[in-house]
Amino acid sequence: MAAAGDWPGREPVRSEVVSLGNEGPIRLTVFHARGRIVEYFPDTAAALRRQGELEYLLAAAQG
């Protein structure tokens, strides 16, 4: 599990990347102030790339 977005004045964002089987898929869950985003990927690298994109977008939306 990875944590990010713990800056003063910002809502914390927490992420979870879980393999649902020996060969995937990979589930990415991003928990934020208004709920959660759940997406599925064929591999861990794709999930981690998307995690970075979502954390960036959520931080930008907070100002």
Specify the pLDDT at position 10: 67
Q: In angstroms, rounded to a whole number, what is the distance separating the alpha carbons of residues 36 and 56?
A: 15
For residue 34, the surrounding DSSP H or E stretch is none
Rounded to 5 degrees, φ, ψ at 55 are: -65, -40
- Write out the chain's pLDDT in tens, 63 residues: 445 544 445 678 899 999 999 988 999 999 988 899 999 999 999 999 999 999 899 888 877
**This prediction's pTM:** 0.79
Give the rounded distance of the alpha carbon of 30 from its chain centre. Answer: 4
CB atoms within 10 A of CB 13: 22
Partners of 37 in beta bridges: 30
State which amino acid sits at residue 20.
L
Residue boundaries of the structural domains of the chain: 12-61
